[in-house]
Amino acid sequence: MTDRALAVVRAGALTTVQDRGRPGHAHLGVPRSGALDPYAGALVNRLVGNDADAAVLETTLDGCAVRPRCAVTVAVGGAACPVTVDGRPVAWGAPVRVPAGAVLEAGPAVRGLRSYVAFAGGVAADPVLGSRSTDLLSGLGPAPLRDGTVLPLGPAPRAAAAPGAVPWPGPPRELVLHVRLGPRDDWFTRAALHTLATRAYRVSPASNRIGLRTEGPPLERAVAGELPSEGMVLGAVQVPPDGRPVVFLADHPTTGGYPVVAVVRERDLAAAAQAVPGTPVRFIPTR
């Protein structure tokens, strides 16, 4: 019987298993999680013939290397990076057939931050609350990959891999985030709201899957007190005591006590997944 599995040769700085996440469990204290760039995750799945919600590997910055134990079709997309099979260059952003026992390596990102690796059949880690996603905050799902980790693969899909390469969006030169003010914008001065809408921020190196932290002018509070903890949503722009906005991403906490000045439009968040430290950030208020 074919051993449908892969072994991790090089885990990289942070490589996790991700699918579309586990929405609907915030009341249990469980965030959605899932691929930070869901469009890239869905596209690499389509390239290998998977359903869009099949689990993939999400790498951060320096990629990963794996050794499939069976011949399998693989696609690497998201952040552009060199891709090799047993040291020989192969296509990025297109389906590639990898022989059993060969080493597939997604190298360091050259444009963007997070690359996605899909395998025909998907990564078949045990689901938790309906998802195979790694959640760094709650610890649910598979642990971040380590060298030597073995992950099962699902049955080969009936759909054929998509032929050739497809267009991929590049990482943002400027991250434009459309926001709806509230629910706690009244906790900030008018000058602070003007600052949020008109001044440029930058992506902080301290950003992660929990939140995109920013560097830039602090937002002045109009209310000096502290809030009781209240529910947090994907895209919430929370303002901690230093005044610099933090945009909550897939692994965000489901409650928090710092005021939320605005909420980012969800479709803008995929670009946040690929915004490298130092990328300019603009917040655009909408109605």
Reported as a single tens digit per residue, the pLDDT across 65-118 is 999 999 999 999 999 999 999 999 999 999 999 999 999 999 999 999 999 999
Give the start-to-end residue ranges of the domains of the chain: 5-152, 175-286
- d(Cα 51, Cα 266) in Å, to the nearest integer? 22
User: Which CATH code, of 1.10.3720.10, 3.40.50.2000, 2.40.100.10, 3.40.50.2300, is assigned to 175-286?
Assistant: 2.40.100.10
Summarize the confidence of residues 148-159 as an average pLDDT: 93
pLDDT band at 1 (very low <50, low <70, confident <90, very high): very low
Instruction: Decide if pLDDT at 179 tops 90.
Output: yes
Cβ–Cβ < 8 Å for 44, 81: no
With CA atoms as reference, report the closest residue to 261 among 210, 206, 215, 221.
221
Do residues 220 and 204 lie in contact, with contact meaning Cβ atoms separated by under 8 Å? no
Q: For residues 47 and 95, what is the distance between their CA atoms, to the nearest angstrom?
A: 6
pLDDT of residue 2: 63
pLDDT level of residue 162 (50, 70, 90 thresholds): confident
What pLDDT, in 10s, does the model give residues 29-67? 899 999 999 999 999 999 999 999 999 999 999 999 999
pLDDT in tens, 206-259: 999 999 999 999 999 999 888 999 999 999 999 999 999 999 999 999 999 999
pTM for this model (two decimals)? 0.95
Helix and strand numbers (H, E) in the chain are 3, 20
CA-angle at 260, arms to 250 and 113, nearest 5°:
35
